[in-house]
Amino acid sequence: MADWIIDVVSWTLLLAGGAAGVIGGIGLLRFPDFYTRLHAAGVTETLCALAILLGLALQSGLNLATVKLIIILLFLLFTAPTATHALARAAMVDGVEPEVAEDDSEPTPGEPSSNT
Amino acid sequence: MTLVMVLTTMAVFATMGLALVRALKGPTVYDRILAVNVFGTKTVLVVALIAHINGHNDLIDVALVYALINFIAVVAVLKLTKMRDLAKAGKGDITDG
Amino acid sequence: MRYIISLTLVLAALWLAISGVYKPLILLLGVGSVALVVWLSLRMEVVGVEHNPVLFSWRLPLYWFWLVWQIVVANINVGRLILSPGRIHPRMLSVPVRHKTAVAKVAYANSVTLTPGTVSLLLNEDELTVHALDTRSARELEAGTMAERIAWLEGSATEQK
């Protein structure tokens, strides 16, 4: 009975992870500029990795493989924001302009200068 | 059970294909690096999935090492495009803070 | 000395978890590599510089669970935006950062980037510049729930102005 529940939960996680990956990939193609594509990449790098690795960990049970999967997951979750931030910073320093919606209720802050 | 695994693997492959299209289309170099980063993360997941489908638990070590290499490669490529030199650090370095 | 001991323990646990082969020769190699890494870290003078014992408390796992929940919620929001891209409303905004330690500031910026919909672009002394994908993500960030959680993690929630 307990096995059955674990199977269903892990299948749900795996399929949800796959779906999140595909949705993020579609966003990577559909979004208009570089900074919005960063958000689409964020979907594939957080939810997709989280769900698939947790689903695999549930499937393999309590052993060293699960520990390794958790280590991979923690490492991905620690490095993904670092890589994203480095990319965003590099693009900004290089002068890639973000498209900002015009009809904004608040004044947008000026472009941060590149020499900080 | 194997069916779910294979379906998930196909979905991850589809994501890799979409990322590859973005990497080929550009338009800026940062779009390409972003797509390559996504591709690398998905490679880690595919290796982990295949390790589980085949029952080869040793392959998980490959996934672990690929996760490490992928991160370092992205940062190194960024630095190379920015500084044209991996050893140089200076003004406008992306690793400031 | 405390940092050296904690670093050694963490490295040894990592070795045992990843190796999986517990024979005398392999264990000896493990001891050797742990000693090498600790010696290299001492030579690089990075031991004790970047970890703050305050953040290694019972609050960290609780914060992680909360953050995972936030990531799931934000992912569903961004997923819906991807399927109907007409509704995106990208903009830049700045939020104040009132945390005192560098670790808390970096944890805040990393958490902001980790939740899809917001990417931190620039972290100054007391201000974080963020690119937000839509109005809802921006509003949630401006509400400051995450900043409060980090302050709670830092343990300085009561001292804030």
Q: Report pLDDT digits (tens) over B39-58.
A: 999 999 999 999 888 888 78
If one compares B62 and C52, the residue with the highest pLDDT of the two is B62
Q: In terms of CA atoms, which chain B residue is nearest residue C20? A: B58
Which DSSP category does A107 fall into? P
* Pair (C24, C97) in one structural domain: no
Residues of B whose CB is below 8 A from A64: 57
Residue C95 has pLDDT above 70, yes or no: yes
Domain segments of chain B as ranges: 2-83
Q: A12, A38, A43, A70: which to substitute to probe chain C, counting the most C Cβ within 10 Å?
A: A43
Chains with 3 or more CB pairs closer than 8 angstroms to A? B, C
Residue C73 within any structural domain of the chain: yes
- For C68, the domain range is 56-154
Q: Which tens digits make up the pLDDT trace of A63-86?
A: 888 888 888 898 888 888 888 888
Q: Considering CB atoms only, which of C18, C71, C118 is closest to A68?
A: C18
Alpha-carbon torsion, ordered C48, C54, C58, C64, to 10 deg: -80
Q: What share of chain B is helix, strand, coil (3-state, %, to 5)?
A: 75, 0, 25
Same domain flag for C15 and C75? no
The pTM of this model reads 0.82
> What average pLDDT does the segment C74-99 reach?
82
Are B97 and C18 within 8 A, CB to CB? no
Query: Which of B34, B80, B81, B84 should one mutate to test binding to chain A, selecting the residue with the greatest count of A CBs within 10 A?
Result: B34
- Sort out which chain B residues have CB atoms less than 8 A from C123's CB and list them: 97
Which residues of chain C are within 8 Å of residue B64 when distances are taken between CB atoms?
18
Instruction: Compute the distance between CA of residue C152 and CA of residue C53 in angstroms, rounded to an integer.
Output: 15
Question: CB of B97 within 8 Å of any CB in chain C?
Answer: yes
The CA dihedral of A57, A63, A65, A67, to the nearest 10 degrees, is 80
In-domain check, residue C148: yes
Could you give the number of structural domains in chain C? 2
What's the confidence (pLDDT) of residue C53? Answer: 52
Query: Average pLDDT of C37-55?
Result: 71
Positions in chain A whose pLDDT score sits under 70: 101-116
Whether C87 is in a domain gets the answer yes
Residue C94 and residue C67 share a domain: yes
Task: For residue A115, tell me if it sits in a domain.
Answer: no
The beta-carbon neighbor of A72 closest among B34, B52, B63 is B63
Contact B61 C123 (CB under 8 A): no
Same domain, C64 and C89: yes
Please tell me whether residues C36 and C67 are part of one structural domain: no
Distances (CA, A) of C107 to B41, C103, C111: 22, 6, 6
Q: How many domains does chain A contain in total?
A: 1
Q: Determine what percent of chain C is predicted with pLDDT higher than 70.
A: 89
Write out the residue range of the structural domain in which residue A58 sits: 2-94
- DSSP reduced 3-state for C123: strand
Residue C49 lies in a domain: no
